[in-house]
């Protein structure tokens, strides 16, 4: 079994996470169930922060909350001294309700609504990452009306293509995100923002993509940024004090995935920024990053109850579980791959090969193809690893399947942080047909 974080197999042969028996968790909270290894989240946050501290560089590590957001997660992020990257009014609202310090909130998004911008300004958040000209002018107006000065970054698409799935690659020229560099629109944006009375332009942001295993793309993005900085210095007398290099640090989902230790990405970024700043005789800027997946991804495990088994002679064995694309859209959306074990028989030898199907009414609702497992049936619990990022966050009610519960585990204790949806929750916003349909 792939052991990571605090996961291990206990004396009964059960998968244990955070010192808690996952079979007990499944019995107590039901399945599907997301289980988060809090110690692993802490460890990752500390590794990112320590890398910056070891190089004595001013920094912010902002948790990209789109990976998994709920009030308890935001409170944990606060406790860990992380900043918070939000991309919608909903994420911001969750942060406000969680009591997250607003000065450490950064707001992203390629189409923030006017109501969202107003909400962010009124909440007094720390920074807005401006994505386009429309947002720039509307934010300027909103701040002017309120005589509120807002710190901003400009998001640029540096023209760097990350080696990852095309749906999660964001740094290339042909992208919906940010100001384009090749056409020169970024210069116009810098000039406008720098001259604005109520916007304080701190610097620039780039996010080249997600699930990245190497540092080359980040290095290229930094190099591009410094070419721009020299131009802005000369043309507009503007020198950024903040460079935000985004997130995207990869994790190991399956054997063969080769992420770097998180500190290595940071050290490499610092090395190039320091060298470039020294070369060009510029002051060292603050470096901000925004990890999502690498903070919570492999800390999450989903427990499912196994149900039906379909054996097709000489073709395949399907084992169906009580969740699927409703709690993990990634296999259907990105052909993402996962590993899993039987949580209740984690030591048993894998003698069979099963393909794990979800229960949604879609042939594409497959969680794992060809998973080696012991002979399994409806009495078993399947644990799927590394579901902590973009799992619950992208969960949905397709087929009116209620979304699972989420528990945090640490030091032998479990805390429910999101309740399981009930059927009543599914119809909470439904309204009955107002009048009889006239035929």
Ligand X SMILES: Cc1ncc(COP(=O)(O)O)c(C=O)c1O
Q: Which residue of the set 70, 127, 361, 386 is catalytic?
A: 361
Task: Please name which of 367, 363, 370 lies closest in space to residue 316, comparing C-alpha atoms.
Answer: 370
Which residue from 174, 113, 119 is spatially nearest to 148, judged by alpha carbons? Answer: 119
Find how far residue 253's CA is from the centre of its chain: 14
CB of 177 to ligand X, least distance (A): 7
Q: How far is the CB of 428 from ligand X (least distance, A)?
A: 30
Q: Is 432 annotated as a binding residue?
A: no
Contact track, ligand X, 356-395, x by CB under 6 A: ---------------------------------x------
Residue 330, beta-bridge partner list = none
**Is 64 one of the binding residues for ligand X (CB under 6 A)?**
yes
Q: Can 361 be counted among the known catalytic residues?
A: yes
CB 245 to ligand X: min, Å: 9
Task: Name the DSSP letter for residue 412.
Answer: T
The residue from 106, 268, 276, 330 that contacts ligand LYS (CB under 6 A) is 330
In eight-state DSSP terms, residue 421 is P
- What does residue 128 show for φ and ψ, rounded to 5 degrees? -115, 130
**Which partner in ligand X, ligand LYS, none is near 247 (CB below 5 to 8 A by kind)?**
ligand X
Please pick, from the candidates 198, 390, 392, 408, the single residue that binds ligand LYS as defined by CB under 6 A. Answer: 390
Q: Which of 31, 157, 169, 210 binds ligand LYS (CB under 6 A)?
A: 210
Q: Please identify which residue in 159, 292, 340, 402 interacts with ligand X, judged by CB under 6 A.
A: 292
Interface residue with ligand LYS among 44, 66, 112, 205 (CB under 6 A) is 66
Instruction: Give the one entry of ligand LYS, ligand X, none that residue 130 binds, where binding means its C-beta sits below a cut-off of 5 to 8 angstroms depending on kind.
Output: none
User: DSSP code of 339?
Assistant: -
Closest CA to 232 of 207, 198, 202: 202
Residue 196's binding partner, choosing from ligand X, ligand LYS, none, with beta-carbon cut-off 5 to 8 A by kind?
none
Question: Cα separation of 264 and 52, whole Å?
Answer: 10
- 371-407 burial, b if ≥16 CB within 10 A, otherwise e? bebbebeeebbbbbbbbbbbbbbbbeeeeebbbbbbb
Nearer to ligand LYS by Cβ, of 210 and 215: the residue is 210
The answer to whether 107 touches 128, Cβ cutoff 8 Å, is yes
User: Would you say 161 is a known binding-site residue?
Assistant: no
In the three-class reduction of DSSP (H, G, I as helix; E, B as strand; rest coil), residue 256 is classed as coil
DSSP characters for 153-165? EEEEE-S---SS-
Distance CA 212, CA 251 (A): 8
Whose Cβ is closer to ligand X: residue 250's or residue 404's? 250
User: Is residue 248 a contact point for ligand X (CB under 6 A)?
Assistant: yes
Instruction: For residue 246, state whether it binds ligand X (rule: CB under 6 A).
Output: yes
Sign of the CA dihedral running 299, 317, 369, 330: negative
Helices 185-195 & 216-236, crossing angle to 10 degrees?
A: 60
158 is annotated as contributing to ligand binding? no
Q: Which of 5, 89, 126, 247 binds ligand X (CB under 6 A)?
A: 247
* Positions that interact with ligand X (CB under 6 A): 64, 67, 85, 108, 170, 207, 210, 246-249, 290-294, 389
Binding residues for substrate: 293, 330, 334, 362, 390
* Positions that interact with ligand LYS (CB under 6 A): 66, 168, 210-211, 330, 390
Tell me which residues are annotated as active site. Answer: 361
Binding residues for pyridoxal 5'-phosphate: 248, 290-293, 390
């Amino acid at each position: 079994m792939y052991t990571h974080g605090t996961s291990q197999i206990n004396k009964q042969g059960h998968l244990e996470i955070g010192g808690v028996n996952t079979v007990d968790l499944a019995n107590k909270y039901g399945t599907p169930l997301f289980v988060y290894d809090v110690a692993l989240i802490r460890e990752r946050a500390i590794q990112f922060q320590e890398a910056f501290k070891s190089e004595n560089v001013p920094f912010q590590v902002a948790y990209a909350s789109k990976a998994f957001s709920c009030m308890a997660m935001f409170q944990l992020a606060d406790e860990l001294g992380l900043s918070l990257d939000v991309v919608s009014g909903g994420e911001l609202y969750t942060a406000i309700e969680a009591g997250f310090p607003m000065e450490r909130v950064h707001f992203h998004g390629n189409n923030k609504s006017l109501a969202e911008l107003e909400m962010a300004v009124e909440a007094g958040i720390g920074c807005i990452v401006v994505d386009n000209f429309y947002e720039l002018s509307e934010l300027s107006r909103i701040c002017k009306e309120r005589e509120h000065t807002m710190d901003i970054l400009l998001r640029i698409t540096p023209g760097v293509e990350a080696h990852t799935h095309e749906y999660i690659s964001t740094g290339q020229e042909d992208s919906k995100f940010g100001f384009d560099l090749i056409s020169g629109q970024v210069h116009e944006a810098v000039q406008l923002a720098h001259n604005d009375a109520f916007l304080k332009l701190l610097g620039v942001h780039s996010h080249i993509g997600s699930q990245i295993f190497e540092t080359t793309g980040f290095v290229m993005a930094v190099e591009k940024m410094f070419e721009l900085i020299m131009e802005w210095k000369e043309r507009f007398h503007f020198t950024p004090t903040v460079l935000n290099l985004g997130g995207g640090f990869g994790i190991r989902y399956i054997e063969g995935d080769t992420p770097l230790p998180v500190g290595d990405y940071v050290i490499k970024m610092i090395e190039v920024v320091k060298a470039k700043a020294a070369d060009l005789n510029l002051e060292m800027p603050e470096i901000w990053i925004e990890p999502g997946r690498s903070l919570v991804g492999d800390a999450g495990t989903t427990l499912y109850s196994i149900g039906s088994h379909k054996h097709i002679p000489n073709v395949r064995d399907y084992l169906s579980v009580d969740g699927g694309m409703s709690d993990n859209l990634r296999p259907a959306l990105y052909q993402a791959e996962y590993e899993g074990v039987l949580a209740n028989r984690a030591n048993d030898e894998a003698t069979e090969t099963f393909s794990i199907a979800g229960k949604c009414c879609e042939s594409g609702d497959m969680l794992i193809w060809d998973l080696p497992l012991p002979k399994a049936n409806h009495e078993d619990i399947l644990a799927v690893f590394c579901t902590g990022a973009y799992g619950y966050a992208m969960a949905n009610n397709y087929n009116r399947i209620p979304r699972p519960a989420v528990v945090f585990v640490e030091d032998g204790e479990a805390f429910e942080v999101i309740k399981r949806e009930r059927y009543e929750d599914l119809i909470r916003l439904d309204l009955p047909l107002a009048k009889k349909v006239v035929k």
